């Protein structure tokens, strides 16, 4: 085998992350208690072991260190580290509550994760910078050729020329000689295999629009003999969706271009897990505040504490949404009417405060727990208003592909809508979510929501 050092990245990453995790744990303990004498004794010895076991399980299940060169970038590596750390924090938090480990120092836990992230981010950025410089000096390069000359072939070459830090060195085009490619080819099909052997080619890119299956099969059959990788380029630009997947009909691979990202198991399971953990923590830790709010709601105006209303959820399925009542009873006795903003005289004085701070939405964490809603997602509407919105903006239907949420981009950037036109304006913000949905984007929306709540800028 030739210089395939990338196999060393996996054990190196594992070792560095475990060293960082344990260094952070011990360092945080010393910073908190100014001693290391009891760090390996109960109760912290058990917590120390738990930290390592959870991280090991994450590595075994998620396989976070297996990726091609194209993804070896500081941004991707840091995002991956943040995701792993969040999962680790969530599991530790659940275990902490389950065993009632209130004797552990919260400050020590916080400092541990801060130190770990600092070390992890530092090693990743440093490693990427080192590899860029190392490859710029001509080391650790992959030599590649492109079979089939044309626009697609030029595109892949242009990509690697624009990213020398990836370490891919172009060695020539191979194709049948024609008037269009004359002067651009390194050779033809008859000299391709010999060239890969004599020039130690690591990767052969095959452009499907410009070659037939028989030649592709010949190149693939000889890959193991001549020790090179075969990669197929197919030009799907212009209609390849982000949600494209491969289905196998017996041994025949079929490319599915229908949107199915929103039902992707990995995305859905992780988002649902986060929703449940976040909601349990919000309801558990905030219970005293919620009881106070319930009492104030009860005694400041007559009527029920919690208000239930039918909304339309994912896939057009109706469900009951719950909120602390912010309006007087029978506010809609004449039929569905949108709120006229905080100056609406149907809103109680206490209701205005709850709406400005978004506290009236808190009971919806119950909706999240039972699966009707998510923490982050487009706000659900009533069918009466959806029918009117669709007449102006048919694209509203795309929001029904995702689970509605307690908070959304539209809620942050726009707030409550007083009429259909304002609902359509808010829709333009919410339409961004299905396209950009990710863990980091959800965290950004939650952070912005907390800022709005703290500043009382809800409208």
Alpha-carbon distance 357 to 413, whole Å?
Answer: 14
Under a CB-based contact definition with an 8 Å cutoff, are residues 403 and 377 in contact?
A: yes
Q: How far is CA 237 from CA 90, 188, 425, in A?
A: 39, 27, 31
**Strand pairing category for 142-147 and 203-207:** parallel
Listed in sequence order, the DSSP H helices in 63-102 are: 74-98
Integer angstrom CA distances of residue 247 from 62, 253, 260, 267: 22, 6, 12, 18
Bridge partners, 89 (sequence order): none
> Given this model, what pLDDT does residue 261 score?
47
DSSP 3-state of 47: helix
**Among 214, 179, 459, which residue's Cα sits nearest to residue 341?**
459
pLDDT tens track for 173-228: 999 888 888 888 998 888 999 999 899 898 999 987 777 788 888 899 888 888 88
Structure tokens at 48: 């120390």
Q: Contact, 95 vs 87, CB < 8 A?
A: no
Answer yes or no: are the C-beta atoms of 390 and 336 closer than 8 Å: no
Task: Return d(Cα 148, Cα 185) in angstroms, integer.
Answer: 9
Q: For the chain, 459 residues long, give each residue's pLDDT as a single digit of tens.
A: 444 555 666 788 889 999 999 999 999 999 999 999 888 888 899 999 999 999 999 988 888 776 666 666 778 888 889 999 999 999 999 988 888 888 899 999 999 999 999 999 999 899 888 877 777 676 778 899 999 888 888 888 888 887 777 778 899 999 988 888 888 899 888 899 999 989 989 899 998 777 778 888 889 988 888 888 899 887 665 455 445 556 655 556 666 665 554 445 556 778 888 899 999 998 888 888 889 999 999 999 888 999 899 999 998 999 999 999 988 887 776 666 666 555 677 888 898 888 888 888 899 999 999 999 999 999 899 998 898 988 888 888 888 888 999 988 888 887 777 788 888 888 888 888 877 777 888 888 888 888 877 776 655
Measured distance CA(381)–CA(400) in Å, rounded: 10
Every domain range in the chain assigned CATH 3.40.50.720 = 142-235
Single pTM value for the model: 0.46
How far apart CA 336 and CA 347 sit, in angstroms, is: 15
Supply the DSSP symbol for 302: S
| Of residues 253, 204, 257, the one with CA closest to residue 227 | 204
Q: How far apart are CA 381 and CA 312, in angstroms?
A: 6
Which architecture, in CATH terms, is 142-235? 3-Layer(aba) Sandwich (3.40)
Residues 6+ apart with CB under 8 A from 131: 72, 140, 165, 167
Task: Provide the 3-class DSSP secondary structure of residue 162.
Answer: helix
DSSP 8-state symbol, 378: P
CA 457 – CA 449 distance, rounded (Å): 10
Q: Is-contact 89 117, C-beta < 8 A?
A: no
**Which residues have C-beta within 8 Å of that of residue 325, sequence separation ≥ 6?**
297, 301, 303, 304, 305, 306, 307, 348, 351, 360
């Amino acid at each position: 085998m030739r210089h395939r050092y990338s196999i060393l990245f996996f054990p190196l990453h594992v070792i560095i992350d475990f060293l960082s995790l344990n260094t952070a744990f011990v360092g945080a303990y010393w910073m908190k208690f100014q001693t290391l004498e009891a760090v390996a004794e109960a109760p912290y010895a058990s917590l120390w072991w738990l930290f390592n076991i959870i991280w090991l399980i994450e590595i075994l299940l998620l396989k976070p260190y297996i990726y091609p060169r194209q993804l070896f970038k500081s941004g991707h590596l840091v995002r991956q580290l943040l995701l792993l750390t969040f999962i680790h924090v969530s599991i530790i938090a659940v275990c902490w509550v389950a065993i009632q480990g209130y004797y552990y120092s919260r400050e020590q836990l916080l400092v541990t994760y801060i130190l770990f992230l600092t070390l992890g981010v530092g090693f990743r950025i440093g490693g990427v910078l080192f590899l860029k410089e190392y490859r710029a000096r001509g080391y650790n390069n992959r030599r590649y050729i492109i079979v089939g000359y044309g626009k697609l072939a030029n595109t892949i070459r242009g990509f690697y020329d624009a990213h020398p830090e990836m370490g891919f060195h172009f060695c020539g085009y191979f194709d049948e000689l024609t008037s269009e490619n004359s002067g651009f080819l390194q050779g033809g099909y008859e000299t391709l295999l010999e060239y890969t052997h004599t020039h130690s080619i690591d990767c052969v890119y095959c452009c499907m629009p410009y070659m037939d299956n028989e030649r592709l099969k010949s190149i693939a059959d000889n890959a193991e003999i001549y020790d090179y990788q075969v990669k197929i380029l197919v030009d799907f630009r212009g209609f390849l969706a982000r949600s494209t997947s491969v289905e196998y009909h017996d041994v025949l691979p079929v490319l599915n271009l229908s949107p199915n990202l929103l039902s992707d198991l990995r995305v859905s399971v992780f988002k649902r897990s986060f929703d449940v953990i976040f909601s349990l923590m919000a309801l558990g830790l905030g219970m005293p505040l919620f009881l106070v709010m319930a009492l104030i709601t009860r005694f400041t105006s007559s009527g029920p504490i919690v208000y239930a209303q039918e909304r339309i959820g994912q896939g057009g399925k109706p469900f009951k949404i719950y909120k602390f009542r912010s309006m007087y009873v029978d506010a809609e006795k004449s039929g569905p009417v949108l709120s006229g903003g905080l100056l609406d005289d149907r809103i109680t004085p206490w209701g205005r405060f709850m709406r400005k701070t978004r506290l009236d939405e808190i009971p919806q964490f119950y909706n999240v727990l039972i699966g009707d809603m998510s923490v982050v997602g487009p706000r659900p509407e009533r069918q009466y208003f959806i029918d009117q919105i669709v007449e102006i903006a048919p694209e509203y239907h795309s929001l029904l592909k995702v689970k509605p949420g307690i908070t959304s981009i539209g809620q942050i950037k726009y707030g409550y809508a007083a009429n259909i036109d304002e609902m359509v304006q808010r829709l333009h913000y919410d339409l961004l979510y299905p396209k950009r949905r990710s863990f980091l984007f959800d965290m950004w929306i939650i952070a912005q929501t907390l800022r709005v709540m703290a500043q009382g800028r809800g409208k």
